[in-house]
Structure 1
């Protein structure tokens, strides 16, 4: 098998063969949408290979979390969507004989002494696109790395054997498995849909579509019949939001008289010669015909042009839609973007088990619980964005920042920061750094930039890692989005160092 990403095939095969040697596997994963889909892909692949496993989730893979993993009885640990940045600590436990790590990640690998110019720490079974010249921030997500591993695992395992399955990942056959074409289950290509949800949730659809290795996974998903793609409006909520709310809340491209304007959105729709209500209810974008969609989209573009919206912004109204073919029309699970948001609303509120169950096909209790969490998540995000917009940010020479204390959950403060960029008084021309209390001793830091800043040289992973270590903490992530943990009281020194480092990158 060449695999969906040929550059990773040999390493993925080695990792898969090592997993097949294990009596049992501890699957450890991150808690965001990319982490949950990574875990789900790995869980399904392990299950199909007949490997007993247990799943654990961590908000942060710190020294204590790794030590707890090392204290288990598992000799083989599969890390998904984290592990690369913590290889120095993982290697210490590996060298002590605690476990053999297998890592499917896309974050910056740890370096000796924390210096980017030093040699990288590594281990034998380490699957990371960055080790093979592929950008882990924009071309392959953690879920994508898990998918590459899953494809290799299908090839390496004995397709004819039917060993007993011992897993906490759900029933042997469930809705997600039943809906997938049987031929794609055998080679795990049906898992491409979850990989795309993870990539979209990890903000890798820059310019409105997925690129690089992600695009190859999309192609496999389309070929497997689990994905559909097409040009569509780049608005969040096309499956579930009534048309007026879809347009009112569409703020990535601000259209005067429509965006953030409930009455304006209603007047805009009333001016179109379309049947926009049925049985007294507003229709949703997903229920419109192609001609009806074209009518609304053309009117939106005309409105944007007439109001002086720049052409470069108007182009952002249209992008590539990623649709999960097996999911019902009009549900959050049909659209990759809405699916990823639903997942974010589970583990960030300590219910990773719910998100995993949804990924693995539970369309009853788990899905309803996830929807309840999503409603609470939206309220918390709205409250957080209102707080930041109302109180504003402190502007330094090269960055801007705010400290939410305990008023925004530390698990969502990064999402709030990213969504607040561009609001009144919050510039998109500078990265934003957000603080939230983690406990009495530590503060969580999240930073967000833009792809335009990344093209100018911004690398928030490097910035937060170096600045955090300078004040006794640690951090990492991606160039456009990163996180850290620092001691309480060290925020001022941390911001000062971040401002210096960003200035050096963007000079």
Structure 2
């Protein structure tokens, strides 16, 4: 069976065969939304293929983390949503015989090679915009389903698809599953990894979306491109929607209320404001048209107004009004778990656990939103420092290092924080190291920006390490090296964007 991304098919099958040959596998994954969905996809596929495994999560896959993984004495380690950028260190352990790596990742690879390396960048596919870590894991899961399905069960195992076992030595095929139902998680991962540029997913991601629709786990359509359509009451939906800033509504509680009260619609139920997801198609059309008209009347540029509408990705099996029904809200919920040291909760939600697990995730989400709000307020209040080509701030211990990058991205566009320069954020990691997160825009990327290359080179120049994607990247540098690091970053970004500034 041909997989969703033909260019990766041969490598995916090779990786799947290696996993099926393993007695047991250690699954190691990153902690953001893309990493959690990657882990969930891989865990589901391994379980269905009847391959014993254990799962571990790492905030950063540095030398110490890789050494810890090697110490677990697994012959096969599956890395998801990281591993490519650390292939130089991983390869040292591979050559030493510590383990055989299987990597499903989409980050820029280090200058090293290994046999079982599934990464879109190796096949001419953009890993920052066309296939996420969860997407790479999904491609692997599809291949694993085919390889495992072709592997006979032995010792009298009974098949459930019509085959029979007749005793010792008899063979039968395992129950067939193509793992297409996992496409929904891959879409959540891609959306969480900011790959829905221009309001929709592109490239190889589109094939995964098609799989999800065909499997009945995903619905798509043109809809209002605002965060919170499932869970936020209408006034809050409009007030907090600032990607397209509409004067008199955005960041204006009373203005949003006046706008809604002026519409000839029943937008309350028993005195409570309804949510966007609860509106009829006609009500949505009326509200959206009024919103566009308000934007036009307030002078919002047409290019910005276009951003009010995009493609929605809805998880069909989840109830209306649940944050799990919308891919964007689902990804935010996941970011609120592992970034606060509760990867087990996020993974559990991805694997279908509800009840107490989902309530714990929602509690973490409320805390996450509060921390983000406080972080954005801090950055906006204190401002950023502008160098010639970048802008930056140092949060110290006032913003958690696992969310400082999210804060930086969300603060862009606020007073004094330019959309025309990449933003670099620092936060204390421990007594010896500082976490760095950088965010750009797709517009800057089109002009030549590559933050992965910038942070990688600049961090190594000061004794640290880093990498990521062209539009978003991270690094760790020694405490006290921030000034030298910034000088290097500013120079490198200037070289990349020099002709544009």
Please state which band the TM-score falls in when normalised by the shorter chain: over 0.9
Is it true that 1:467 corresponds to 2:467 in the alignment? no
Residue 186 of structure 1 aligns to a residue whose secondary structure is coil
Q: Which of the pair has the greater relative contact order for Cα pairs under 8 Å at 6+ separation?
A: 1
State whether structure 2 residue 31 is matched by structure 1 residue 40: no
2:445 aligns with one of 427, 430, 454? 454
Cα offset, 1:491, TM superposition: 0.2
Corresponding residue number in structure 2 for 1:115: none
| 2:200 aligned residue | 209
Give the 5 Å matches for 1:86-485. 86-111=86-111, 121-158=112-149, 186-485=177-476
Residue 279 of structure 1, CA deviation: 1.3
Could you tell me whether the CA contact under 8 Å between 2:149 and 2:176 is conserved in 1? Answer: no
Task: Report the alpha carbon displacement of residue 75 of structure 1 after superposing the two structures with TM.
Answer: 0.4
* Kept after mapping to 2: 8 A contact 1:24/1:76: yes
Contact kept in structure 1, 2:432 and 2:479, CA below 8 Å: yes
Match of 2:50 in 1: 50
Distance (Å, rounded) in 1 between the aligned partners of 2:108 and 2:233: 40
CA distance in structure 2 between the aligned counterparts of 1:162 and 1:302, rounded to whole angstroms: 63
Residue 86 of structure 2 aligns to a residue in which SS? Answer: helix
In structure 2, what is the Cα distance between the partners aligned to 1:137 and 1:503?
21
8 Å contact kept, 1:432–1:449: yes
8 Å CA contact 2:19, 2:76 repeated in 1:
yes
Is 2:20 aligned against 1:20?
yes
Measured in 2, the distance between the counterparts of 1:379 and 1:307 equals 31
Q: Deviations over 1:116-165 (max 9, x none)?
A: xxxxx11000000000000000000000000000000000003686799x
Q: Indicate conservation of the 8 Å contact 1:19/1:76, yes or no.
A: yes
Q: What is the aligned residue count?
A: 479
Whether 1:5 aligns to 2:5 is yes
Q: Which residue of 2 aligns with 1:118?
A: none
Q: Name the CA distance, whole Å, in 2 between partners of 1:202 and 1:462.
A: 18
TM-score normalised by length of structure 1: 0.93
The alpha-carbon distance between structure 1 residues 390 and 359, as it changes in their structure 2 partners (threshold 3 A), is same
Distance across 1 between alignment mates of 2:317 and 2:371? 31
CA distance in 2, matches of 1:386, 1:244: 21
Tell whether the 8 Å contact from 1:50 to 1:163 is kept in structure 2 after alignment. Answer: no
Distance in structure 2 (CA, Å) of the matches to 1:17 and 1:504: 44
Does the 8 Å contact 1:25/1:77 carry over to 2? yes
Partner of residue 173, structure 1: none
Give the SS at the match of 1:398: coil
2:16 is paired with a residue whose SS is: helix
The normalised TM-score by structure 2 is 0.95
1:85 equivalent in structure 2:
85
CA distance in 1, matches of 2:231, 2:139: 31
Structure 1: give runs of 5+ residues left out of the alignment.
112-120, 165-183
Structure 1 CA distance for aligned equivalents of residues 68 and 409 of structure 2: 32
Q: Deviations over 1:56-87 (max 9, x none)?
A: 00000000000000111210000000000000
> What do the CA deviations read for 1:89-108 (whole angstroms, capped 9, x no partner)?
00000000000000000000
Runs of 4+ in structure 1 over 4 Å off: 159-164
Cα separation, 1, equivalents of 2:117 and 2:273: 50
What SS class does the counterpart of residue 84 from structure 1 fall into? Answer: coil
Q: Does the residue aligned with 2:47 lie in a helix, a strand or coil?
A: helix
Asked if 1 retains the 8 angstrom alpha-carbon contact of 2:142 and 2:178, the reply is yes
- Does structure 2 retain, via aligned residues, the 8 Å contact 1:50–1:162? no
The separation in 1 between residues aligned to 2:32 and 2:272, in whole angstroms, is 34
Distance in 2, matches of 1:185 and 1:315, equals: 44
Q: State the partner residue of 1:67.
A: 67
Rounded to whole Å, the distance in 2 between the matches of 1:135 and 1:30 is 20
SS in 2 for 1:153: helix
In structure 1, what is the equivalent of residue 166 of structure 2?
A: none
Answer whether contact 1:159 1:186 (CA < 8 A) is retained.
no
